[in-house]
Chain A
Amino acid sequence: MALQAAAGQASAQQTGTQRTITLRIARSNPAHDSSTTGFDDFDVPYEKWTTVLDAILEVKKSLDHSVAVRYSCRQATCGSCGMMINGRPRLACFTKIDELNSSVITVEPLQNFPVIRDLAVGFDSLFENHREVRPYLDRENTELEGVPDGELKEYPQSPEELEQYIQFANCIKCGLCNAACPTMATDSSFLGPQALAQAYRYVGDSRDKGKDSRLKVIDDSHGIWRCHFAGSCSQVCPKGVDPAMGIQLLRGYMLGFGGGSGNNNQK
């Protein structure tokens, strides 16, 4: 396969049956030199099924193995390969080159996250905020008293109760919503749409009894009240979580509108 790195060539060429695009990859290595940043351009062949991640891996394999990118499952399940693709947060494994309708594809690290190197960003803040909203079911230890060792205790739930939160349980923590959020763009203390939507996921769960402590965390000037309902988070979510809906329903609940939370345990 004849691949040539050709800077500055913006062309989708038809060479026989093989088409090529110019892949512009943002390069930086802040651990070594924070002042040296820029783009490297690569001409990459593609087919109609080629994803942006495939193209990046082709570059790593054949042109420049030093390109840093994080990926794992290649099927939009692990949430590792989020990046800015032509200026919009997307999963590289879930974005086909064909659907972008562009002869030049620019890939950059996700905005609003610190860059580790090239396309890899640090998710420490995402996971810290996620943990802060207590992303687990809170139950009293006393409920487990009397349950023999080795046996499980069941918390039954109706299909209707499941519907209240199952959408928000689809979150893969890819960080695309936080990258698209205009509030995250300027407020480093904001919890972010990912964490707030996860707060609703557990507040809406009929098995959970930790609503009060969870709401205390998000009831903050940099918490749920900083969301301005721009809705960009929902537009980029690759799993249909719709964080904007979760946040508004949760805020409606906190304001006393009911908010759609099906969890009546601690009202």
Chain B
Amino acid sequence: MASVDQEEGDAGREAGTDSQDRYDGAGSSSSSGSAKTAADGNRAGVGGMINPGRYGIERVAYWLMRLSGLGLLAYFIGHIYETSSILQGKMGWDEFLAITQTTEGHILLAIVIGMCVFHTVNGIRVMLGHGGVGVGRAARPDYPYIPASQNYRHKLGIYTAIVLAAIAMMYGLAVMFGV
């Protein structure tokens, strides 16, 4: 194969660094109080990953998606443990089920409902986006360069997921507390 139209050289910015090994091996959370250490590779780490504050609602949705996914995984494991109590007979089952009938149990279940609804609705939005749906069309950009992929359709999808999750939580709480 022949290479034509080679990209312009970037040799000027490739001036060496001997810290590549440290960079590859490390990861640490971000700290606003002190300068990032060079020895830790300057990778933002989990703290930088979940930072929802500086990149708009899309980053908040990313963070909530991760959080709700981990929450649902924890609930799934707990749910299996809960249902396994039936092996101890009716008494064991009733005893465990009674935990969910407390105020704390109701709040926990309401949070699970919220996580489930948000993860589902936002998951559909993200899957559509991953398929290239609703991310805009490639075109020559004009200043001030508003990214087409961060458009109102996806923002609407995120807000819809949050609102539906809130409604589902409120409905769940109303049913569980018998309001």
Q: A-side interface residues toward B, CB under 8 Å?
A: 26-31, 34-35, 37-39, 70, 72, 78-80, 87-88, 108-117, 121-125, 127, 135-141, 143-144, 155, 163-168, 170, 173, 179-180, 182-186, 188, 204, 207, 210, 228-232, 234-242, 244-246, 248-249, 251-253, 255, 257-260
Contacts and interface: CB of A to CB of B under 8 A. Distances in A.
Nearest to A152: B4
A27 B35 contact: yes
Interface string B124-139: 0010011111011111
Contact of B2 (A110, A141, A188, A252): A141
Nearest to B149: A245
| 4 closest residue pairs by CB, A with B | A252-B132, A240-B145, A240-B141, A122-B17
Q: Among A109, A230, A239, A257, find the residue whose CB has the most chain B CB atoms closer than 10 A.
A: A230
A51 B127 CA distance: 40
Contacts of B36: 26, 28, 37, 108-109, 111, 115
A185 B48 contact: yes
A114 B55 contact: no
Contacts of A231: 55-56, 58-59, 62, 147, 149-150, 154
Given A31-B18, A115-B38, A231-B154, 15 more contacts: A34-B38, A87-B32, A108-B35, A112-B48, A116-B19, A124-B16, A137-B3, A138-B1, A179-B44, A186-B45, A235-B147, A242-B149, A251-B132, A255-B130, A260-B138
Contacts of A123: 10, 13-14
Contacts of A37: 34-38
B90 interface: no
B142 interface: yes
Nearest to B30: A111
B73 to A, nearest CB: 16
A258 B132 contact: yes
B46 A185 contact: yes
A198 to B, nearest CB: 8
A88 B19 contact: no
Interface of B: 1-7, 10, 12-14, 16-20, 22-25, 27, 30, 32, 34-39, 41-46, 48-51, 54-56, 58-59, 61-62, 65, 126, 129-133, 135-143, 145, 147-150, 154
A182 B140 contact: no
A80 to B, nearest CB: 6
Nearest to B143: A240
The B interface is mostly helix, strand or loop, or mixed, namely: loop
A254 B14 CA distance: 32
A185 B59 contact: no
B66 to A, nearest CB: 8
A241 B148 CA distance: 10
Contacts of B130: 229, 248, 251-252, 255
12 contacts: A26-B35, A31-B19, A37-B34, A114-B42, A115-B36, A115-B38, A163-B140, A182-B49, A182-B50, A242-B136, A257-B131, A260-B137
A37 B41 CA distance: 13
Given A136-B4, A137-B3, A228 B62 contact: yes
A162 to B, nearest CB: 8
A186 B43 contact: yes
B148 A242 contact: yes
A168 B140 CA distance: 9
Nearest to B146: A240
A28 to B, nearest CB: 5
B17 to A, nearest CB: 3
B159 to A, nearest CB: 15
Nearest to A234: B147
Contacts of B48: 111-112, 182, 185
Given A140-B2, A182-B59, A237-B145, A168 B38 contact: no
